[in-house]
Structure 1
Protein backbone atom coordinates (compact mmCIF):
# COMPACT_ATOMS: atom_id res chain seq x y z
CA UNK A 1 0.00 0.00 0.00
CA UNK A 2 1.52 3.30 -1.04
CA UNK A 3 0.24 6.84 -0.92
CA UNK A 4 0.60 7.21 -4.69
CA UNK A 5 -2.45 4.98 -5.23
CA UNK A 6 -4.73 7.44 -3.48
CA UNK A 7 -5.18 11.16 -3.13
CA UNK A 8 -7.37 12.53 -0.36
CA UNK A 9 -8.54 15.77 1.17
CA UNK A 10 -10.22 16.51 4.51
CA UNK A 11 -12.00 19.60 5.81
CA UNK A 12 -14.06 20.27 8.93
CA UNK A 13 -15.83 23.38 10.24
CA UNK A 14 -17.87 24.28 13.28
CA UNK A 15 -20.68 25.59 11.05
CA UNK A 16 -22.64 28.84 11.27
CA UNK A 17 -24.50 28.28 14.56
CA UNK A 18 -22.61 26.08 17.00
CA UNK A 19 -19.73 27.22 19.18
CA UNK A 20 -17.61 24.04 19.16
CA UNK A 21 -16.91 21.27 16.70
CA UNK A 22 -17.89 17.71 17.70
CA UNK A 23 -16.81 16.26 14.34
CA UNK A 24 -13.43 14.60 13.80
CA UNK A 25 -11.79 12.77 10.91
CA UNK A 26 -9.05 10.37 9.86
CA UNK A 27 -7.15 11.04 6.62
CA UNK A 28 -4.51 8.33 6.18
CA UNK A 29 -3.83 7.47 2.53
CA UNK A 30 -0.67 5.69 3.73
CA UNK A 31 -2.88 3.20 5.58
CA UNK A 32 -5.68 3.19 3.05
CA UNK A 33 -7.91 4.34 5.93
CA UNK A 34 -10.27 7.27 6.25
CA UNK A 35 -13.11 8.09 8.65
CA UNK A 36 -15.55 10.74 9.83
CA UNK A 37 -16.96 10.71 13.37
CA UNK A 38 -19.81 12.98 14.50
CA UNK A 39 -20.14 13.16 18.28
CA UNK A 40 -23.35 13.43 20.26
CA UNK A 41 -23.75 13.94 23.98
CA UNK A 42 -24.91 16.22 26.76
CA UNK A 43 -22.95 19.33 27.68
CA UNK A 44 -20.75 19.24 24.60
CA UNK A 45 -19.43 15.76 25.40
CA UNK A 46 -19.84 14.49 21.84
CA UNK A 47 -16.38 15.72 20.94
CA UNK A 48 -14.93 13.29 23.50
CA UNK A 49 -16.49 10.30 21.72
CA UNK A 50 -15.53 11.42 18.22
CA UNK A 51 -11.96 12.15 19.31
CA UNK A 52 -11.68 8.72 20.98
CA UNK A 53 -12.78 7.06 17.74
CA UNK A 54 -10.28 9.00 15.64
CA UNK A 55 -7.42 8.40 18.10
CA UNK A 56 -8.17 4.66 18.10
CA UNK A 57 -8.14 4.48 14.30
CA UNK A 58 -5.03 6.64 13.99
CA UNK A 59 -3.20 4.10 16.17
CA UNK A 60 -3.54 1.29 13.62
CA UNK A 61 -0.05 0.36 12.38
CA UNK A 62 1.02 0.30 8.75
CA UNK A 63 1.77 -2.90 6.86
CA UNK A 64 -1.35 -4.88 7.74
CA UNK A 65 -3.22 -7.14 5.35
CA UNK A 66 -6.82 -6.42 4.40
CA UNK A 67 -8.13 -8.92 6.94
CA UNK A 68 -5.85 -7.62 9.67
CA UNK A 69 -6.80 -3.97 9.23
CA UNK A 70 -10.50 -4.85 9.15
CA UNK A 71 -10.10 -6.80 12.40
CA UNK A 72 -8.18 -3.87 13.93
CA UNK A 73 -10.95 -1.44 12.99
CA UNK A 74 -13.66 -3.62 14.51
CA UNK A 75 -11.67 -4.38 17.66
CA UNK A 76 -10.75 -0.76 18.23
CA UNK A 77 -14.32 0.43 17.71
CA UNK A 78 -15.53 -2.20 20.19
CA UNK A 79 -12.93 -1.08 22.74
CA UNK A 80 -13.94 2.55 22.27
CA UNK A 81 -17.60 1.63 22.61
CA UNK A 82 -16.90 -0.24 25.85
CA UNK A 83 -14.87 2.67 27.26
CA UNK A 84 -17.66 5.12 26.51
CA UNK A 85 -20.27 2.80 28.06
CA UNK A 86 -18.12 2.39 31.18
CA UNK A 87 -17.76 6.15 31.49
CA UNK A 88 -21.52 6.56 31.20
CA UNK A 89 -22.16 3.89 33.84
CA UNK A 90 -19.80 5.48 36.34
CA UNK A 91 -20.74 9.13 35.83
CA UNK A 92 -23.80 11.33 35.54
CA UNK A 93 -25.85 12.43 32.53
CA UNK A 94 -23.21 14.97 31.58
CA UNK A 95 -20.71 12.17 30.99
CA UNK A 96 -22.87 10.32 28.45
CA UNK A 97 -21.42 10.62 24.98
CA UNK A 98 -21.51 8.66 21.75
CA UNK A 99 -20.61 9.19 18.12
CA UNK A 100 -21.65 8.14 14.67
CA UNK A 101 -18.82 6.96 12.44
CA UNK A 102 -18.23 6.07 8.80
CA UNK A 103 -14.95 4.36 7.87
CA UNK A 104 -13.41 3.53 4.49
CA UNK A 105 -10.68 0.90 4.12
CA UNK A 106 -8.97 0.46 0.73
CA UNK A 107 -6.67 -2.49 0.16
CA UNK A 108 -5.47 -4.05 -3.10
CA UNK A 109 -8.38 -3.73 -5.56
CA UNK A 110 -11.22 -3.76 -2.99
CA UNK A 111 -12.75 -1.41 -0.46
CA UNK A 112 -14.82 -1.90 2.67
CA UNK A 113 -17.05 0.79 4.17
CA UNK A 114 -18.22 0.39 7.78
CA UNK A 115 -20.56 2.66 9.65
CA UNK A 116 -22.87 3.27 12.60
CA UNK A 117 -25.35 6.15 12.61
CA UNK A 118 -26.09 8.73 9.94
CA UNK A 119 -22.65 9.87 8.85
CA UNK A 120 -22.55 8.81 5.22
CA UNK A 121 -20.37 7.33 2.52
CA UNK A 122 -20.82 8.07 -1.19
CA UNK A 123 -19.10 6.77 -4.31
CA UNK A 124 -18.79 8.77 -7.52
CA UNK A 125 -17.95 6.51 -10.48
CA UNK A 126 -18.10 7.44 -14.17
CA UNK A 127 -20.12 10.53 -13.34
CA UNK A 128 -22.76 8.61 -11.35
CA UNK A 129 -22.99 9.00 -7.58
CA UNK A 130 -24.43 6.43 -5.21
CA UNK A 131 -24.86 6.43 -1.46
CA UNK A 132 -23.07 3.33 -0.19
CA UNK A 133 -24.23 3.58 3.43
CA UNK A 134 -27.76 3.45 4.83
CA UNK A 135 -28.60 5.70 7.75
CA UNK A 136 -29.21 4.17 11.15
CA UNK A 137 -31.91 6.68 12.03
CA UNK A 138 -35.53 6.89 13.05
CA UNK A 139 -36.59 8.54 9.80
CA UNK A 140 -34.84 5.85 7.73
CA UNK A 141 -36.81 3.21 9.64
CA UNK A 142 -40.01 5.14 8.91
CA UNK A 143 -39.10 5.32 5.21
CA UNK A 144 -38.31 1.59 5.14
CA UNK A 145 -41.67 0.86 6.77
CA UNK A 146 -43.51 3.00 4.20
CA UNK A 147 -44.75 5.37 6.90
CA UNK A 148 -43.18 8.44 5.29
CA UNK A 149 -41.55 9.23 1.94
CA UNK A 150 -37.87 9.93 1.45
CA UNK A 151 -38.81 13.55 0.70
CA UNK A 152 -40.74 13.79 3.97
CA UNK A 153 -37.74 12.46 5.88
CA UNK A 154 -35.66 15.53 5.00
CA UNK A 155 -37.76 17.86 7.14
CA UNK A 156 -39.15 15.41 9.67
CA UNK A 157 -39.19 16.84 13.24
CA UNK A 158 -37.19 13.81 14.48
CA UNK A 159 -34.70 13.77 11.63
CA UNK A 160 -31.78 13.98 14.06
CA UNK A 161 -32.68 10.83 16.03
CA UNK A 162 -30.09 8.12 15.36
CA UNK A 163 -30.64 4.46 16.22
CA UNK A 164 -27.04 3.29 16.34
CA UNK A 165 -23.73 4.84 17.44
CA UNK A 166 -20.42 3.97 19.04
CA UNK A 167 -21.03 4.44 22.77
CA UNK A 168 -24.81 4.05 22.50
CA UNK A 169 -26.86 1.72 24.70
CA UNK A 170 -25.90 -1.74 23.45
CA UNK A 171 -23.38 -4.38 24.43
CA UNK A 172 -21.45 -4.21 21.18
CA UNK A 173 -20.49 -1.58 18.63
CA UNK A 174 -22.69 -2.58 15.70
CA UNK A 175 -21.04 -1.58 12.43
CA UNK A 176 -22.67 -2.39 9.11
CA UNK A 177 -20.34 -3.13 6.21
CA UNK A 178 -20.40 -3.02 2.42
CA UNK A 179 -17.58 -4.18 0.16
CA UNK A 180 -16.85 -3.92 -3.54
CA UNK A 181 -14.06 -3.44 -6.07
CA UNK A 182 -12.05 -0.29 -6.61
CA UNK A 183 -11.75 1.30 -10.05
CA UNK A 184 -9.17 3.96 -10.99
CA UNK A 185 -10.95 7.31 -11.09
CA UNK A 186 -13.38 6.43 -8.28
CA UNK A 187 -14.02 9.22 -5.82
CA UNK A 188 -15.41 8.53 -2.36
CA UNK A 189 -16.92 10.98 0.09
CA UNK A 190 -17.25 10.43 3.82
CA UNK A 191 -19.25 13.14 5.56
CA UNK A 192 -21.10 14.09 8.71
CA UNK A 193 -24.83 14.73 8.44
CA UNK A 194 -24.23 18.47 8.52
CA UNK A 195 -23.17 18.16 4.88
CA UNK A 196 -25.74 15.73 3.48
CA UNK A 197 -28.64 17.43 5.26
CA UNK A 198 -27.63 20.81 3.85
CA UNK A 199 -26.67 20.04 0.23
CA UNK A 200 -28.73 17.94 -2.16
CA UNK A 201 -27.21 14.91 -3.83
CA UNK A 202 -26.79 16.57 -7.21
CA UNK A 203 -24.75 19.42 -5.70
CA UNK A 204 -22.67 16.99 -3.66
CA UNK A 205 -21.88 14.97 -6.79
CA UNK A 206 -20.92 18.11 -8.73
CA UNK A 207 -18.61 19.34 -5.98
CA UNK A 208 -17.09 15.91 -5.36
CA UNK A 209 -16.00 15.93 -9.02
CA UNK A 210 -14.10 19.20 -8.45
CA UNK A 211 -10.54 19.14 -9.90
CA UNK A 212 -7.94 18.13 -7.34
CA UNK A 213 -6.24 21.51 -7.21
CA UNK A 214 -9.54 23.05 -6.08
CA UNK A 215 -9.67 20.81 -2.97
CA UNK A 216 -13.00 18.89 -3.23
CA UNK A 217 -13.50 18.62 0.53
CA UNK A 218 -13.00 22.35 1.01
CA UNK A 219 -15.42 23.16 -1.82
CA UNK A 220 -18.06 20.89 -0.26
CA UNK A 221 -17.73 22.45 3.19
CA UNK A 222 -17.69 25.97 1.74
CA UNK A 223 -20.94 25.20 -0.10
CA UNK A 224 -22.56 24.00 3.11
CA UNK A 225 -21.44 27.18 4.87
CA UNK A 226 -22.91 29.24 2.05
CA UNK A 227 -26.20 27.46 2.77
CA UNK A 228 -25.88 28.45 6.45
CA UNK A 229 -25.34 24.90 7.70
CA UNK A 230 -26.65 24.72 11.26
CA UNK A 231 -24.50 21.78 12.34
CA UNK A 232 -20.81 20.98 12.36
CA UNK A 233 -19.79 19.91 8.87
CA UNK A 234 -17.01 17.58 7.75
CA UNK A 235 -16.00 16.10 4.40
CA UNK A 236 -13.25 13.62 3.53
CA UNK A 237 -12.81 13.03 -0.21
CA UNK A 238 -10.73 10.16 -1.61
CA UNK A 239 -9.66 9.53 -5.19
CA UNK A 240 -8.35 6.21 -6.53
CA UNK A 241 -5.44 7.07 -8.81
CA UNK A 242 -4.24 3.66 -9.98
CA UNK A 243 -5.03 -0.03 -9.93
CA UNK A 244 -3.30 -2.27 -7.39
Structure 2
Protein backbone atom coordinates (compact mmCIF):
# COMPACT_ATOMS: atom_id res chain seq x y z
CA UNK A 1 0.00 0.00 0.00
CA UNK A 2 1.29 3.46 -0.90
CA UNK A 3 2.55 5.48 2.03
CA UNK A 4 2.01 9.23 2.17
CA UNK A 5 4.38 11.64 3.86
CA UNK A 6 2.90 13.97 6.43
CA UNK A 7 3.13 16.82 3.90
CA UNK A 8 1.23 14.91 1.21
CA UNK A 9 -1.32 13.66 3.70
CA UNK A 10 -1.76 17.21 5.02
CA UNK A 11 -2.63 18.47 1.53
CA UNK A 12 -5.12 15.67 0.93
CA UNK A 13 -6.81 15.89 4.33
CA UNK A 14 -6.77 19.70 4.68
CA UNK A 15 -5.19 19.33 8.11
CA UNK A 16 -1.93 21.09 8.91
CA UNK A 17 1.15 19.08 9.79
CA UNK A 18 0.98 20.62 13.27
CA UNK A 19 -2.62 19.43 13.68
CA UNK A 20 -1.70 15.94 12.45
CA UNK A 21 1.10 15.69 15.00
CA UNK A 22 -1.33 16.80 17.73
CA UNK A 23 -3.99 14.28 16.68
CA UNK A 24 -1.33 11.56 16.64
CA UNK A 25 -0.40 12.39 20.24
CA UNK A 26 -4.07 12.19 21.24
CA UNK A 27 -4.58 8.87 19.46
CA UNK A 28 -7.27 10.41 17.25
CA UNK A 29 -5.43 10.04 13.96
CA UNK A 30 -2.22 8.00 14.39
CA UNK A 31 -0.05 7.47 11.31
CA UNK A 32 0.20 4.05 9.71
CA UNK A 33 3.93 3.98 10.32
CA UNK A 34 6.58 6.02 12.12
CA UNK A 35 10.17 5.61 10.98
CA UNK A 36 12.08 4.40 14.07
CA UNK A 37 15.24 6.29 13.08
CA UNK A 38 14.03 9.58 11.59
CA UNK A 39 10.66 9.82 13.40
CA UNK A 40 8.95 10.67 10.09
CA UNK A 41 5.26 9.92 10.02
CA UNK A 42 3.70 8.05 7.10
CA UNK A 43 -0.02 7.62 6.42
CA UNK A 44 -2.12 5.24 4.31
CA UNK A 45 -4.44 6.54 1.63
CA UNK A 46 -7.26 4.75 3.45
CA UNK A 47 -6.88 7.24 6.32
CA UNK A 48 -7.75 10.27 4.20
CA UNK A 49 -11.52 9.90 4.68
CA UNK A 50 -11.25 9.86 8.47
CA UNK A 51 -8.82 12.78 8.41
CA UNK A 52 -11.17 14.86 6.25
CA UNK A 53 -14.02 14.07 8.63
CA UNK A 54 -11.87 15.26 11.53
CA UNK A 55 -11.15 18.49 9.63
CA UNK A 56 -14.83 19.13 8.90
CA UNK A 57 -15.90 18.47 12.47
CA UNK A 58 -13.22 20.77 13.83
CA UNK A 59 -14.36 23.51 11.46
CA UNK A 60 -17.84 23.46 13.01
CA UNK A 61 -16.23 23.77 16.43
CA UNK A 62 -16.86 20.26 17.75
CA UNK A 63 -14.66 19.42 20.77
CA UNK A 64 -12.09 16.68 20.27
CA UNK A 65 -14.01 14.22 22.45
CA UNK A 66 -17.02 14.63 20.18
CA UNK A 67 -14.85 14.34 17.06
CA UNK A 68 -13.47 11.02 18.30
CA UNK A 69 -16.99 9.72 19.03
CA UNK A 70 -18.34 10.70 15.61
CA UNK A 71 -15.33 9.26 13.75
CA UNK A 72 -15.58 5.97 15.62
CA UNK A 73 -19.32 5.77 14.97
CA UNK A 74 -18.86 6.57 11.28
CA UNK A 75 -16.55 3.57 10.89
CA UNK A 76 -19.31 1.14 11.94
CA UNK A 77 -22.65 3.00 11.97
CA UNK A 78 -22.79 6.10 9.71
CA UNK A 79 -26.41 6.87 10.61
CA UNK A 80 -25.49 7.10 14.30
CA UNK A 81 -22.61 9.41 13.42
CA UNK A 82 -25.02 11.65 11.54
CA UNK A 83 -27.36 11.75 14.53
CA UNK A 84 -24.48 12.71 16.80
CA UNK A 85 -23.54 15.62 14.53
CA UNK A 86 -27.15 16.84 14.39
CA UNK A 87 -27.47 16.62 18.18
CA UNK A 88 -24.24 18.58 18.63
CA UNK A 89 -25.39 21.33 16.29
CA UNK A 90 -28.79 21.54 17.98
CA UNK A 91 -26.98 22.17 21.28
CA UNK A 92 -24.83 24.83 19.62
CA UNK A 93 -27.90 26.62 18.24
CA UNK A 94 -29.67 26.49 21.60
CA UNK A 95 -26.63 27.90 23.40
CA UNK A 96 -26.16 30.53 20.68
CA UNK A 97 -29.78 31.64 21.04
CA UNK A 98 -29.25 32.07 24.78
CA UNK A 99 -26.08 34.09 24.22
CA UNK A 100 -27.86 36.17 21.56
CA UNK A 101 -30.61 37.09 24.00
CA UNK A 102 -28.01 38.07 26.59
CA UNK A 103 -26.04 40.10 24.02
CA UNK A 104 -29.15 42.00 22.96
CA UNK A 105 -30.01 42.65 26.59
CA UNK A 106 -26.52 43.94 27.34
CA UNK A 107 -26.54 46.15 24.24
CA UNK A 108 -29.88 47.60 25.35
CA UNK A 109 -28.53 48.25 28.84
CA UNK A 110 -25.37 49.91 27.52
CA UNK A 111 -27.51 52.18 25.35
CA UNK A 112 -29.65 53.14 28.38
CA UNK A 113 -27.29 53.16 31.38
CA UNK A 114 -29.60 55.34 33.42
CA UNK A 115 -32.19 52.53 33.36
CA UNK A 116 -29.97 49.68 34.58
CA UNK A 117 -30.87 50.08 38.23
CA UNK A 118 -34.11 48.96 39.77
CA UNK A 119 -34.72 52.05 41.87
CA UNK A 120 -37.71 53.20 39.83
CA UNK A 121 -41.11 51.77 40.71
CA UNK A 122 -42.06 49.26 37.99
CA UNK A 123 -44.90 50.08 35.62
CA UNK A 124 -45.93 46.43 35.62
CA UNK A 125 -46.52 43.82 38.28
CA UNK A 126 -47.70 40.22 38.45
CA UNK A 127 -50.52 38.36 40.08
CA UNK A 128 -50.07 34.67 40.56
CA UNK A 129 -51.21 31.29 41.83
CA UNK A 130 -49.30 28.11 42.68
CA UNK A 131 -50.57 24.56 43.12
CA UNK A 132 -49.06 21.13 43.81
CA UNK A 133 -50.58 17.70 44.23
CA UNK A 134 -49.24 14.22 44.92
CA UNK A 135 -51.35 12.69 42.17
CA UNK A 136 -53.13 9.37 42.28
CA UNK A 137 -50.28 6.89 41.86
CA UNK A 138 -47.09 8.07 43.56
CA UNK A 139 -46.38 7.12 47.18
CA UNK A 140 -44.43 10.33 47.79
CA UNK A 141 -44.82 13.98 46.83
CA UNK A 142 -41.59 15.48 45.48
CA UNK A 143 -42.85 18.42 43.39
CA UNK A 144 -42.54 21.97 44.73
CA UNK A 145 -44.02 25.27 43.57
CA UNK A 146 -43.61 28.88 44.65
CA UNK A 147 -45.32 32.07 43.52
CA UNK A 148 -44.66 35.46 45.12
CA UNK A 149 -44.52 39.02 43.82
CA UNK A 150 -40.85 38.45 42.94
CA UNK A 151 -40.45 34.74 42.23
CA UNK A 152 -42.23 32.05 40.21
CA UNK A 153 -40.77 28.54 40.47
CA UNK A 154 -41.46 24.84 40.09
CA UNK A 155 -39.11 21.98 40.95
CA UNK A 156 -39.54 18.25 40.38
CA UNK A 157 -37.36 16.29 42.79
CA UNK A 158 -36.28 12.70 42.35
CA UNK A 159 -34.39 10.07 44.32
CA UNK A 160 -34.56 9.17 47.97
CA UNK A 161 -34.55 12.83 49.04
CA UNK A 162 -36.20 14.42 46.04
CA UNK A 163 -38.53 16.64 48.05
CA UNK A 164 -35.70 18.30 50.03
CA UNK A 165 -33.74 18.70 46.78
CA UNK A 166 -36.57 20.60 45.13
CA UNK A 167 -37.15 22.68 48.23
CA UNK A 168 -33.44 23.57 48.39
CA UNK A 169 -33.45 24.76 44.79
CA UNK A 170 -36.39 27.08 45.36
CA UNK A 171 -35.05 28.27 48.72
CA UNK A 172 -31.83 29.42 47.06
CA UNK A 173 -33.81 31.59 44.65
CA UNK A 174 -35.93 33.12 47.41
CA UNK A 175 -32.86 35.11 48.42
CA UNK A 176 -33.40 37.08 45.18
CA UNK A 177 -37.10 37.64 45.93
CA UNK A 178 -36.82 41.18 47.28
CA UNK A 179 -38.92 44.28 47.28
CA UNK A 180 -38.68 46.54 44.20
CA UNK A 181 -35.53 48.62 44.41
CA UNK A 182 -33.82 46.31 46.90
CA UNK A 183 -32.66 43.58 44.53
CA UNK A 184 -29.72 43.40 42.14
CA UNK A 185 -29.49 45.56 39.06
CA UNK A 186 -31.08 43.94 36.03
CA UNK A 187 -27.66 43.61 34.46
CA UNK A 188 -26.46 41.58 37.47
CA UNK A 189 -29.52 39.40 37.81
CA UNK A 190 -28.39 36.55 35.56
CA UNK A 191 -25.14 36.30 37.51
CA UNK A 192 -27.09 36.29 40.76
CA UNK A 193 -29.36 33.55 39.42
CA UNK A 194 -26.43 31.41 38.35
CA UNK A 195 -24.80 31.85 41.77
CA UNK A 196 -28.03 30.87 43.50
CA UNK A 197 -28.34 27.74 41.38
CA UNK A 198 -24.77 26.73 42.20
CA UNK A 199 -25.45 27.21 45.92
CA UNK A 200 -28.50 25.00 45.59
CA UNK A 201 -26.49 22.40 43.71
CA UNK A 202 -23.90 22.33 46.48
CA UNK A 203 -26.65 21.75 49.05
CA UNK A 204 -28.20 19.00 46.95
CA UNK A 205 -24.82 17.33 46.70
CA UNK A 206 -25.16 16.53 50.38
CA UNK A 207 -28.39 14.61 49.81
CA UNK A 208 -28.23 10.90 49.11
CA UNK A 209 -28.78 9.84 45.48
CA UNK A 210 -31.16 12.75 44.77
CA UNK A 211 -31.66 15.72 42.47
CA UNK A 212 -34.22 18.05 41.02
CA UNK A 213 -35.32 19.97 38.00
CA UNK A 214 -35.83 23.72 38.35
CA UNK A 215 -37.74 26.18 36.21
CA UNK A 216 -38.07 29.63 37.72
CA UNK A 217 -38.55 33.28 36.83
CA UNK A 218 -37.44 36.22 38.93
CA UNK A 219 -39.44 39.40 38.41
CA UNK A 220 -37.47 42.63 38.00
CA UNK A 221 -40.38 45.00 37.38
CA UNK A 222 -40.23 44.93 33.60
CA UNK A 223 -38.38 41.75 32.84
CA UNK A 224 -38.56 38.15 33.91
CA UNK A 225 -35.20 36.47 34.35
CA UNK A 226 -35.54 32.75 33.56
CA UNK A 227 -33.43 29.94 34.98
CA UNK A 228 -34.15 26.45 33.72
CA UNK A 229 -32.64 23.00 34.09
CA UNK A 230 -34.25 19.60 33.56
CA UNK A 231 -37.67 18.86 32.12
CA UNK A 232 -40.06 21.10 33.99
CA UNK A 233 -41.35 23.74 31.58
CA UNK A 234 -42.31 27.38 31.15
CA UNK A 235 -44.93 28.56 28.66
CA UNK A 236 -45.94 32.06 27.57
CA UNK A 237 -49.46 32.91 26.45
CA UNK A 238 -49.24 36.10 24.37
CA UNK A 239 -51.65 37.40 21.77
CA UNK A 240 -53.67 34.18 21.90
CA UNK A 241 -50.64 32.01 21.08
CA UNK A 242 -49.04 29.58 23.50
CA UNK A 243 -45.25 29.38 23.28
CA UNK A 244 -42.94 27.02 25.13
CA UNK A 245 -39.95 29.08 26.24
CA UNK A 246 -37.83 26.33 27.77
CA UNK A 247 -36.01 23.40 26.20
CA UNK A 248 -36.16 19.99 27.89
CA UNK A 249 -32.79 18.61 28.98
CA UNK A 250 -33.71 14.98 28.36
CA UNK A 251 -32.58 12.02 26.29
CA UNK A 252 -35.78 12.01 24.25
CA UNK A 253 -35.57 15.76 23.54
CA UNK A 254 -32.05 15.26 22.20
CA UNK A 255 -33.46 12.55 19.93
CA UNK A 256 -36.24 14.87 18.77
CA UNK A 257 -33.64 17.55 18.08
CA UNK A 258 -31.63 15.05 16.06
CA UNK A 259 -34.69 14.11 14.01
CA UNK A 260 -34.72 10.48 15.15
CA UNK A 261 -37.88 10.74 17.26
CA UNK A 262 -41.16 12.61 16.91
CA UNK A 263 -42.97 14.45 19.68
CA UNK A 264 -45.69 11.80 19.54
CA UNK A 265 -43.20 8.94 19.85
CA UNK A 266 -41.43 10.71 22.72
CA UNK A 267 -44.60 10.66 24.82
CA UNK A 268 -44.36 6.87 25.21
CA UNK A 269 -40.62 6.37 24.87
CA UNK A 270 -39.12 4.24 27.68
CA UNK A 271 -36.35 6.83 28.25
CA UNK A 272 -38.64 9.86 28.39
CA UNK A 273 -37.82 10.53 32.07
CA UNK A 274 -34.03 10.32 31.74
CA UNK A 275 -32.46 13.74 32.30
CA UNK A 276 -29.29 15.01 30.67
CA UNK A 277 -29.10 18.01 33.00
CA UNK A 278 -30.40 18.52 36.53
CA UNK A 279 -29.33 19.80 39.93
CA UNK A 280 -27.79 16.67 41.37
CA UNK A 281 -24.70 17.93 43.17
CA UNK A 282 -22.35 17.46 40.22
CA UNK A 283 -20.84 20.28 38.17
CA UNK A 284 -21.28 18.43 34.85
CA UNK A 285 -25.06 18.15 35.00
CA UNK A 286 -25.79 21.46 36.76
CA UNK A 287 -25.64 23.76 33.72
CA UNK A 288 -28.83 25.84 33.67
CA UNK A 289 -30.21 27.86 30.79
CA UNK A 290 -30.38 31.55 31.71
CA UNK A 291 -32.18 34.25 29.77
CA UNK A 292 -34.26 37.41 30.09
CA UNK A 293 -37.80 38.02 28.83
CA UNK A 294 -39.33 41.41 28.28
CA UNK A 295 -42.72 41.39 29.99
CA UNK A 296 -45.83 42.88 28.43
CA UNK A 297 -49.12 43.70 30.06
CA UNK A 298 -51.51 40.88 29.19
CA UNK A 299 -48.86 38.14 29.18
CA UNK A 300 -49.70 34.97 31.05
CA UNK A 301 -46.97 32.53 32.12
CA UNK A 302 -47.34 28.88 33.06
CA UNK A 303 -44.58 26.98 34.85
CA UNK A 304 -45.26 23.29 35.40
CA UNK A 305 -43.73 19.89 36.08
CA UNK A 306 -44.08 16.91 33.76
CA UNK A 307 -46.96 15.68 35.88
CA UNK A 308 -49.05 18.33 34.14
CA UNK A 309 -47.79 18.62 30.58
CA UNK A 310 -47.54 14.85 29.99
CA UNK A 311 -51.18 14.33 30.96
CA UNK A 312 -52.93 17.46 29.69
CA UNK A 313 -52.58 18.09 25.93
CA UNK A 314 -51.04 21.41 24.93
CA UNK A 315 -54.18 22.44 23.05
CA UNK A 316 -56.21 21.95 26.23
CA UNK A 317 -53.67 23.92 28.26
CA UNK A 318 -53.94 26.79 25.78
CA UNK A 319 -57.75 26.70 25.96
CA UNK A 320 -57.70 26.86 29.75
CA UNK A 321 -55.14 29.65 29.89
CA UNK A 322 -57.01 31.64 27.26
CA UNK A 323 -60.48 31.14 28.66
CA UNK A 324 -59.92 31.52 32.41
CA UNK A 325 -59.99 35.01 33.86
CA UNK A 326 -57.54 34.80 36.76
CA UNK A 327 -54.46 32.74 37.73
CA UNK A 328 -56.25 30.95 40.59
CA UNK A 329 -58.98 29.71 38.29
CA UNK A 330 -56.50 28.65 35.61
CA UNK A 331 -54.31 26.78 38.07
CA UNK A 332 -57.31 25.00 39.60
CA UNK A 333 -58.64 24.02 36.17
CA UNK A 334 -55.29 22.62 35.03
CA UNK A 335 -54.84 20.60 38.21
CA UNK A 336 -58.36 19.20 37.85
CA UNK A 337 -57.64 18.13 34.26
CA UNK A 338 -54.48 16.34 35.34
CA UNK A 339 -56.50 14.52 38.02
CA UNK A 340 -59.15 13.54 35.47
CA UNK A 341 -56.38 12.12 33.25
CA UNK A 342 -55.30 9.79 36.05
CA UNK A 343 -52.58 11.92 37.67
CA UNK A 344 -49.88 9.22 37.39
CA UNK A 345 -47.20 11.59 38.69
CA UNK A 346 -46.80 14.45 41.16
CA UNK A 347 -48.08 17.73 39.74
CA UNK A 348 -46.88 21.30 40.17
CA UNK A 349 -47.95 24.42 38.36
CA UNK A 350 -47.67 28.19 38.64
CA UNK A 351 -49.79 30.62 36.64
CA UNK A 352 -48.91 34.31 36.58
CA UNK A 353 -50.38 37.32 34.81
CA UNK A 354 -48.44 40.47 33.93
CA UNK A 355 -50.64 43.49 34.70
CA UNK A 356 -50.19 47.27 35.03
CA UNK A 357 -48.98 48.27 38.45
CA UNK A 358 -51.64 49.65 40.76
CA UNK A 359 -51.40 53.44 40.58
CA UNK A 360 -52.25 53.58 44.28
CA UNK A 361 -48.90 51.92 45.09
CA UNK A 362 -46.96 54.83 43.62
CA UNK A 363 -45.65 57.15 46.33
The TM-score normalised by the length of structure 1 is: 0.88
What is the deviation of 1:28? 1.4
Q: Which residue of 1 aligns with 2:131?
A: 11
Distance 2:287 2:243 in 1: 23
Q: Which residue of 1 aligns with 2:154?
A: 36
Residue 169 of structure 2 is aligned to residue 49 of structure 1: no
Change in CA separation of 1:206 and 1:5 when aligned onto 2, cut-off 3 Å: same
What is the deviation of 1:34? 0.8
Residue 180 of structure 2 is aligned to residue 180 of structure 1: no
Distance 1:213 1:202 in 2: 18
Q: Which residue of 2 aligns with 1:106?
A: 219
Distance 1:226 1:196 in 2: 13
Distance 1:40 1:3 in 2: 39
For residues 199-230 of structure 1, give each alpha carbon's deviation from its aligned partner in whole angstroms, at most 9, with x where no partner exists. Answer: 11111111123111752112111110111121
Compare 64-73 and 119-128 and name the one that shifted more: 64-73
Residue 293 of structure 2 is aligned to residue 196 of structure 1: no
What is the deviation of 1:173? 2.6
Q: Which residue of 215, 223, 234 maps to 2:337?
A: 223
What is the deviation of 1:51? 1.0
Contact 1:102 1:114 (C-alpha < 8 Å) held by counterparts: yes
Q: Which residue of 2 aligns with 1:92?
A: none
What is the deviation of 1:38? 0.5
What is the deviation of 1:2? 6.6
Q: How many residues align?
A: 233
Contact 2:238 2:299 (C-alpha < 8 Å) held by counterparts: yes
Contact 2:123 2:357 (C-alpha < 8 Å) held by counterparts: no
Contact 2:278 2:286 (C-alpha < 8 Å) held by counterparts: yes
Residue 356 of structure 2 is aligned to residue 236 of structure 1: no
Q: Which consecutive unaligned segments of at least 5 residues does structure 2 have? A: 1-120, 359-363
| 3-state SS, counterpart of residue 213 of structure 2 | strand
Q: Which residue of 250, 253, 264 maps to 1:137?
A: 250
| Structure with larger RCO (C-alpha < 8 A, sep 6+) | 1
Distance 1:167 1:187 in 2: 30
Contact 1:23 1:50 (C-alpha < 8 Å) held by counterparts: yes
| 3-state SS, counterpart of residue 16 of structure 1 | coil
For residues 17-42 of structure 1, give each alpha carbon's deviation from its aligned partner in whole angstroms, at most 9, with x where no partner exists. Answer: 1122101122111x2x211010011x
Contact 2:176 2:218 (C-alpha < 8 Å) held by counterparts: no
Note the 1:88-167 alignment, pairs <5 A: 95-167=208-280
Distance 1:132 1:18 in 2: 28
Higher helix share: 2
| 3-state SS, counterpart of residue 135 of structure 1 | coil
| 3-state SS, counterpart of residue 287 of structure 2 | coil
Contact 1:109 1:243 (C-alpha < 8 Å) held by counterparts: no
Distance 1:231 1:196 in 2: 11
Larger radius of gyration: 2
The TM-score normalised by the length of structure 2 is: 0.60
Contact 2:128 2:353 (C-alpha < 8 Å) held by counterparts: yes
